[in-house]
Amino acid sequence: MKEILTEQERQYIIEAIQNGEPIPLDFKYKLFPIAQKEYELNYAGKMRKQDILRGEDGVLPVPLQVEKVFNGERELFSDGWRNMIVFGDNLQFLKTCYQNTDDLVRNQIKGKVKLIYIDPPFGTGDDYEGNKGQKGYTAKRKSADFVEFIRRRLIIAKEILATDGTIMVRQGYNFGHYIKIVLDEIFGKTNFINEIVVNRGKQRLGGSKKFSTATDTIFFYSVSEKNYTFNPFKRARYIGEATGTNMLMKGERNPPSRIFIDPNGETVTLLPPANTHWKFVQIKIDEMYKKGVMYLAKSQKGLNSGIRKVEKDGITTPVDYVPSFKFDEDKTIDANWTDITGYDATTGYPTENSESLLERVISTTTNAGDIVLDFFGGSGTTAAVAEKLGRKWIVCDIGKLSFYTMQKRILSIQDSKDIQKPSKKYSNQAKSFITVNVGSYDLTKLFELGKEKYIQFVLRLFEIEQYKQNKSIKGYEISGERSGSYCLVWEFWKYKEDANVDISFLEELHQNIGSRIGKRFYIIAPANAIDFISDYYEIEDVRYYFLKVPYQIIQELHKQEFKKFRQPQSQTKINDLDDAIGFHFMREPEVKSSFNNNELIINSFRSNFTEEGTNREMDNFESLSMVIVDTNFNGKEFAMSRHFFAEDLLKAKKKQKNIEEGTEEDIEEGIKAELKQQKQLIIPLIGHNQRICVKYIDIYGNEFTEEFTTK
Ligand SMILES: C[S@@+](CC[C@H](N)C(=O)[O-])C[C@H]1O[C@@H](n2cnc3c(N)ncnc32)[C@H](O)[C@@H]1O
- pLDDT, tens digit (0-9, with 9 covering 90-100), for 185-201: 999 999 999 999 999 86
23 phi, psi to nearest 5 deg: -90, 130
- Cβ of residue 65 lying under 6 Å from some atom of ligand 1: no
pLDDT at 653 over 90: no
Name the residue at shortest CA distance from atom 17 of ligand 1: 398
- Cβ of residue 354 lying under 6 Å from some atom of ligand 1: no
- Calculate the dihedral angle through the C-alpha atoms of 53, 458, 530, 480, rounding to the nearest 10 degrees: -80
Domain boundaries, the chain: 1-36, 64-235+334-438, 244-326, 444-552, 571-709
Higher pLDDT, 557 or 416: 416
- What's the number of CA atoms in the CB half-sphere (13 Å) around residue 192? 16
From the alpha carbon of 376, which atom of ligand 1 is closest? 12
Ligand 1 centre to CA of 378 (Å) is 5
Given pLDDT bands bounded at 50, 70 and 90, which one contains residue 39? confident
Q: Measuring CA to CA, which residue among 624, 621, 591, 567 is closest to residue 706?
A: 591
Predicted local distance difference test score (pLDDT) of residue 663: 62
d(CA 147, CA 614): 29
Pocket residue to mutate for ligand 1, from 87, 397, 408, most atoms within 8 A of Cβ: 397
Q: Measuring CA to CA, which residue among 570, 583, 676, 678 is closest to residue 623?
A: 676
Q: Where are the alpha helices (DSSP H) in 231-369?
A: 282-291, 355-365
Given pLDDT bands bounded at 50, 70 and 90, which one contains residue 2? low
What pLDDT digit, counting tens, does each position of 357-382 carry?
A: 999 999 999 999 999 999 999 999 99
Assess whether the previous peptide bond of 232 is cis (omega < 30° from 0).
no
267-271: strand order across its sheet: 258-261, 267-271, 308-310, 316-318
pLDDT at 67 over 50: yes
d(CA 592, CA 611): 21
Given pLDDT bands bounded at 50, 70 and 90, which one contains residue 5? confident
- Calculate the dihedral angle through the C-alpha atoms of 528, 529, 532, 538, rounding to the nearest 10 degrees: -150
pLDDT at 316 over 60: yes
- Cβ of residue 405 lying under 6 Å from some atom of ligand 1: no
Q: Which residues, in sequence order, are bridge partners of residue 316?
A: 310
Pocket residue to mutate for ligand 1, from 146, 349, 402, 645, most atoms within 8 A of Cβ: 402
CATH, domain range 64-235+334-438: 3.40.50.150
Given pLDDT bands bounded at 50, 70 and 90, which one contains residue 37? low
Cα of 263 vs its chain's centroid, Å: 60
Residue 497: CB partners within 8 Å, gap ≥ 6? none
**Percent with pLDDT over 70 in the chain:** 92
Q: How far is CA 536 from CA 24, 478, 490, 501, 532, in A?
A: 48, 18, 15, 12, 8
Per-range mean pLDDT, top range of 30-39, 43-52, 140-149: 43-52
What pLDDT digit, counting tens, does each position of 493-503 carry?
A: 887 777 789 99
DSSP code for 517: S
Name the residue at shortest CA distance from atom 2 of ligand 1: 378
Predicted local distance difference test score (pLDDT) of residue 674: 92
Residue 470: CB partners within 8 Å, gap ≥ 6? 477, 478, 479
Beta strands 267-271; 392-397: pairing state: unpaired
pLDDT at 330 over 50: yes
Residue 116: CB partners within 8 Å, gap ≥ 6? 157, 161, 165, 166, 167, 168, 372, 373, 374, 375
Predicted local distance difference test score (pLDDT) of residue 129: 35
Q: CATH topology for 571-709?
A: Immunoglobulin-like (2.60.40)
Question: Which pTM does this prediction carry?
Answer: 0.85
pLDDT at 154 over 80: yes
Pocket residue to mutate for ligand 1, from 376, 387, 393, most atoms within 8 A of Cβ: 376
